[in-house]
Every structure is written in structure tokens, then in C-alpha cells.
Amino acid sequence: MTTTALTARTVTVGVGALSFDDVVAVARHDSHVELAADALTEVRRSRSVVEALADDDQPHYGVSTGFGALATRHIPVELRAQLQRSLVRSHAAGSGPEVEREVVRALMLLRISTLATGRTGIREETLLTYLATLNAGITPVVHEYGSLGCSGDLAPLSHCALALMGEGVVRDASGERMPTAQAYAAAGITPVELREKEGLALINGTDGMLGQLVLAITDLRRLLTVADITAAMSVEGQLGTDDVFQADLHDLRPQPGQALSAKNLRSLMRDSGIRESHRDPQACTRVQDAYSLRCSPQVAGAVRDTVEYAARVAGYELASAVDNPVVTLDGRVESNGNFHGAPVAYVLDFLAIVAADLASISERRTDRFLDASRNHGLNAFLADDPGVDSGHMIAQYTQAAIVSELKRLAAPASVDSIPSSAMQEDHVSMGWSAARKLRRSVDGLTRVLAVELLTAARALELRAPLEPAPATAAVVRALREAGAPAPGPDRFLAPEIETAVQLVASGAVVAAAESVTGPLS
């Protein structure tokens, strides 16, 4: 979906699961959020269940008891409002760098979506204040560290809950950092006085890790198409063959992602003059291309399938109402373990693994361009005057450094668990940590593909007068029109890499290729 379409949409919560586009539209494009017509009816109904327990002498977790290992403490009626305030204040204990605005907005939307289901026992005024905060563009300051991915993303969600109380620090719609009370006054929002169960309802969810998963999947789907484009450019530029991408060969191994990637490569290399120049087997003595060229659909295809598995898990989570305790459809208030982030944590780790491997094969294709013994007639390092010029030598170093970092980030977070809350919470998912490192992995993959794009484009132009395929030529043209110069003597290379990074991240590379091929898979 285009940015314009995402920006224009209104997202409705309280009726079915949110879509990926809904999350992206709100997180990145400030789309307006509204409640479904009958959402408040269910919210009021479940709130009445909680209020019926408010004055009960029997202990009810989250209503009249402490939390975690302190759940055995029975809280008297007169202290129960203070209990909720104290919960939020004490749990807003994050530390470290500030988390990105889009992540916090995704987190807020997903918590609002759960509150709007009526399964949490929240009051309507609290829900409406949360909604008003999001729509006003007010973003609580959330920190890097503080969530173990179990009992919910406690610290990140608590910083948002603190804002609803008129406390803490936020950024307004223009990005200015200020006390919440100041931002609320400017926006005409009245803080809420939390009541029974509301503190827990605001902080007990997987919203932070889920929001980051949705954003990462959105980015990876685009990057997978870019990876097919850069692979096609590399195969073409290194005088490789597209015969290995024929459909019947891939039908022999019916992995769905592999077939889609091979189909893209066929479309991208169609009508390549460079490829035609060495189609005669007597003129071309190579029997097979290197794995990084020949096996690109197998690797990118496996990444595709992993991403789509992660998307299914995210879809299940988007349809969930995660809280503890919950108000069931038949009016019971029940403790549960649905806040445990294991399902989300695992796929976040899976995606870091495949991002590292997709970057690794991209770097190997780039390296082949630079070695005069393997690049089939091009100058060493694609330099204008090798020795005087270094060409793309250090661009590949940059790639290699990023790939090495991605391999470190591929070490799973979800295999770790540090017991907390006096051993009451004795097994945690570390899903938030998995999400944070995946964001760095996606950024690194973007940069690795950008360097391959820049290098392959240079090689294709150095094959002149042979003409590349119309689709890959369109990508080279988009790169040049964006300001990355044609081959020549050495110049300041970092800005060219950043130009390529922006083209990859924005979708412009895909758009350029699709202007010739039509929609790619």
C-alpha cells in the first residue's frame, strides 16, 4: 500500500483484529483512530463486573491485592485507588536511550485495541483519554530497557500509563519534549484518576514487542523484493545465467517463497542485452555460477517463508486481548498467562536470523564484483584507474562490518530468562529485547542491500555498450536521478551509499523496477 493511502485512512478499533496496514498507518503516518460504534457498550459491561468486586472482602488479583510476588497482600478498600497509581509509578522504571516514536505509537494503538475489546475492565473515560492522547500526536517518552517480555511490556506500557495520569514526560506532535501536564493542557486533555484494576489493564500486554514485529515484517517484505532486484542486477552484471531460475526447476522443490523469488528474477532479467551477449555456450565456458548467484532464490525464498510464518503469528496476536486478569465473555474475572511473550519472541528471533543470512549472501555477491579474478573482465574494485582509485573497495568493508554485526544480533534473545519478582515470575520471554535487536537488523539489511545496489549498478554501466534488462536499467536510472553519480574517478562515497539507502528504504527501488515488470512478488 502506498504512503498516501496509509496516511488517508481512519483506523477503527474495537471491531475485529487490526491489520498490518492499520498499525503502520497510525505508527508512521499519524492516521486518526476511532472506536467502533458498539465498543463502549462492551467496555461498560465489563467495567460493571470489576466494580461489583471493588468493595468485596474476598481478594481479587489486580483489584484488591498487590502484584506479582506481593499478590498475597490484601489491600483495604480505601487504598485501592492508590494501589493503581503506585503500580504505574513504580513500574515506569525504564532506562537508557529513548525509543522511536513509531514504536511507541504502535504500542499505544495496540493497547487501545485491547482495551476496546471490553476484556480488561477499563473505564470508558480512561480508554477515551488514551485515544485522545494518541490522536493528539502526544507520545510518552519510553526507554530502551525495562521489559522482560512477560507480564507484558511492563516498563514501556507504564510510561504510557503514567502520561494518562498527567505525569511523566512526553513529546508533543511537533516532537518537543515536555512534561505531560503541559502537553495535556495545550491539547485540552484532562488526566484520569485510575480506579480498581485499571493500572494492570494499562500495562499488562505484549503490545511493544508486537508493534515492533509488525513494523519489521512490513519492512522485510519490501526488502525481500529489493533483494531479488539487487540479485538480478548482480547476476546480470557478473555475466551469470538466468537459466537456473526457470519455473520447472523450482517446481521440483515446491518451496513457495523460492518459487516467488525465482519468478521475480525471471521478470527482472527479461530482455537483457548483457545476458544475450553470452548465451552461446561456445562463447561462455562457465558451467555453473557461484552459489551466491545461482542459489539466491533458495535463500531469499526461505527468508520469505519465515517472514510469512512470523506474519501468521503476528496476526494471531493482533486478534488477541492480552491482560491479566481478564473479564471473560460470560462475566468471570480470571487470572491467566496470556501475557507471556514467547510466541512473539520466537519469531522476532527467527527474523533476525534470516535478515543476517539475506545480508550475508548480498555481501558475497558484492564482493565478487570487486575481485578482478572473479568479475569477468571488469576493473579491480570497479575502480576507474585501479591503484590510483580504490573504487568500491571500502564500500564492501562497510557491508562486511554490518553483516558481522547482523550475525551477532542473530543470537536469540528468547533462549534467555532471568527470574524476577521474587521468583513469582520465574520464566520470561525477553521478547522486547528480541524486538529491539531486530530493528537494528532490519536497518543493517537495508544498508547492505543498498551497497549491493550501488555496486551492481556501477558494474552494469561498465558493461556498456551492452544493455541491461529494461527493469534493471530503470533501477540504475532511478539511482542516478536521485544523485548518485555514474562511474568515474574516486569521490566521497558515503553520501552515495546514503542515497542508495534512502531509495531502498523508501520503496523507490521497487517502484522503479515495477514500472517495467508490473507488480513483483
For residue 400, give the 3-state DSSP assignment. Answer: helix
Q: Which has the closest alpha carbon to 108: 97, 121, 99?
A: 99
Q: Which amino acid is at 144?
A: E
Asked if 61 is an active-site residue, the reply is yes
Helix 296-318 vs helix 342-370: crossing angle, to nearest 10:
160
Tracing cell 557491508 back to the chain, one arrives at 399
DSSP output for 407-476: HHHTS-STT----BTTTTB-----HHHHHHHHHHHHHHHHHHHHHHHHHHHHHHHHTTTS---HHHHHHH
Q: Which amino acid is at 78?
A: E
Please tell me the distance from the alpha carbon of residue 191 to that of residue 197, in angstroms, as a whole number. 17
The sign of the dihedral angle between the CA atoms of 83, 84, 85, 88 is positive
Report the C-alpha gap between 141 and 227 in whole angstroms. Answer: 35
Torsional sign, CA 282, 286, 292, 294: positive
Measure the CA–CA gap between 455 and 264, rounded to whole angstroms.
20
DSSP per residue, 357-371:
HHHHHHHHHHHHHH-
Rounded to whole angstroms, how far apart are CA atoms 87 and 200?
Answer: 8
**DSSP single-letter state for residue 17:** P
Q: Are strands 32-35 and 10-13 parallel, antiparallel or unpaired?
A: parallel
Q: What is the DSSP letter of 484?
A: P
Q: Give the integer Cα–Cα distance in Å for 521 and 519.
A: 7
Provide the residue type at 51 as one letter.
E
320: number of Cβ within 10 Å? 19
**Residue 443 backbone dihedrals phi, psi, to 5 degrees:** -65, -45
Within the chain, how many helices (H) and strands (E) appear?
A: 21, 9
Residue environment code for 108-118, b if the CB has 16+ CB neighbours within 10 A, otherwise e: bbbbbbbbbbb
- Whether the ω angle into residue 470 lies within 30 degrees of 0, i.e. cis, is no
Question: Which of 61, 145, 291, 397 is the catalytic position?
Answer: 61
Tell me which residues are annotated as active site. Answer: 61
